[in-house]
Amino acid sequence: MDFAAGWSNFFLGLTSGLFYLIFFSFAWGLVILPWSVVILALHDRFKWQRFRTQWALAPAVLMLIYTIGGLIVEPQTPSQRFNKFAHTELPHNVQDLHYSFSGGGITDYTDIYYFETTPEEVDRLISEMQLEVDMSSKRNGVIDGAIPTLDGAPDYSTWQGTQQYQGGRDGGAWFYYLITDETRTKVYMMIGCI
């Protein structure tokens, strides 16, 4: 459920979650099996007759409550994910926001955003995320962008005076790309983790 909520495409998130569940179930087997043996031994030793099944299932129920609680406390909104992964705030004056989320668990995170804002906010993002001009991004005067375009959002290859920035953190595990036009009001961003 957490995976499906964290992806823009519900069915791709659900598929990713199912693969994660397969791998995760092996780890849970290592926890649940000894736990169940302990519960069975305690019930046999002290001649308890009640709640054996409930105690055996308690770790799985607690994990389900934890997952649902996480979705309620930290919903997968664009501003929440941006703050969490970019370590800065999405501009408050964002207009025409488009986004696509994917990843989590054993799948690499990839969040793509398109929005319009002020040049000051673009400069703030570049500064706070410690982005630098990507010198390798232009070929024959055209941006060779690392960011896929989003449905319903403009295509940055048609913009005049585009500039691409890049950066990262945690030893390169997280990477950032930002593409803006010459007016510095239109922005494409990609936040990813490998």
Q: What is the pLDDT of residues 131-178, one digit of tens each?
A: 998 877 665 555 566 788 899 999 998 888 888 999 988 887 899 999
Burial tier of 184 (Cβ tally within 10 Å: 0-12, 13-18, 19+) = middle
Number of domains forming the structure of the chain: 2
Picking from 29, 49, 73, the residue at the C-terminal end of a domain is 73
Strand ranges across the sheet with 107-116: 95-104, 107-116, 186-193, 174-180, 163-169, 132-133
pLDDT for 137 equals 64
pLDDT for 130 equals 94
Q: What is the rounded distance in angstroms from the CA atom of residue 121 to the CA atom of residue 185?
A: 9
Domain assignment of residue 106, given as a range: 78-193
- The average pLDDT across 83-93 equals 93
* 117 and 184 assigned to the same domain: yes
Sole residue written with tokens 């690499």: 108
Both tokens of 163, joined, read 């500039």
* 53 and 148 assigned to the same domain: no
pLDDT for 36 equals 80
Q: Is the pTM of this model over 0.75?
A: no
